[in-house]
Amino acid sequence: MKARILVVDDDEALAEMIGIVLRNDGFEPVFCADGGQALEIFRSSKPDLVLLDLMLPGSDGIEVCRQIRGESDVPIVMLTAKSDTSDVVRGLESGADDYVPKPFKPAELVARVRARLRPGDQKAPETLRIADVTIDVAGHLVTRGGERISLTPLEFDLLVALARKPWQVFTRELLLEQVWGYRHAADTRLVNVHVQRLRSKIERDPEAPEVVLTVRGVGYKAGS
């Protein structure tokens, strides 16, 4: 079955070009040129992934991102022309999993899309524990004290990567490679922002984390 991808971009030429590239690589693109209708089209088309331009008429890309994230865990990859730190960070904080800066190569775009669409690769039944959090890997389920915690696939992958090797300290570069699928060093802000998001969901007190610990000057590790 072809993966359906919602392309939210006001630039029709670019949207069409992205469509050509995606179709060429075996995806099924759905288009939306107006941020105001993005949520509606998202609901009706039920895509497997959203490609979202940060600057949209009608509604800010960041706002659209927040709306979609409000009702779905579907992966969101932002297209951004602004490489300014604050914009990228704002986009990531509003719920995007990854971003591709313009101008990008078709291969780059497809690689990012594929990385996010990576199927659960039929994970073996496995139960992991960090602090008082239990992770059912196969069931994609995270609980704390019997209470279910909802995580996006990316956050889940991040938590599982840390939980599998609780003795190891992961550098941001290593996490980028294992969780995001980057082969070359990329923007480590991705890691920082998503660790913050993950903490806000699973930590009792995100200010004093117990599940995902920061190792100063190195990276992150799982709590015991």
Q: Quick one: 17 or 138, whose CB is closer to other proteins?
A: 17
| Residue 12 CB, nearest approach to other proteins (Å) | 10
| Residue 94 CB, nearest approach to other proteins (Å) | 18
| Residue 8 CB, nearest approach to other proteins (Å) | 14
Question: Using omega within 30 degrees of 0 as the cis cutoff, is the peptide bond preceding 29 cis?
Answer: no
| Residue 118 CB, nearest approach to other proteins (Å) | 23
Q: Quick one: 53 or 155, whose CB is closer to other proteins?
A: 53
Q: Quick one: 20 or 138, whose CB is closer to other proteins?
A: 20
Q: Quick one: 106 or 153, whose CB is closer to other proteins?
A: 106
Establish how many alpha carbons lie within 13 A of residue 18's alpha carbon, considering only the half-sphere containing its beta carbon: 29
Residues that bind other proteins (CB under 8 A): 11, 13-14, 17-18, 20-21, 24, 55, 81-85, 102-107, 109, 185
Q: Quick one: 12 or 71, whose CB is closer to other proteins?
A: 12
| Residue 122 CB, nearest approach to other proteins (Å) | 32
How far is residue 106's CA from residue 2's CA, in Å, rounded to a whole number? 18
Q: Quick one: 54 or 65, whose CB is closer to other proteins?
A: 54
Residue 102 identity: K
| Residue 77 CB, nearest approach to other proteins (Å) | 14
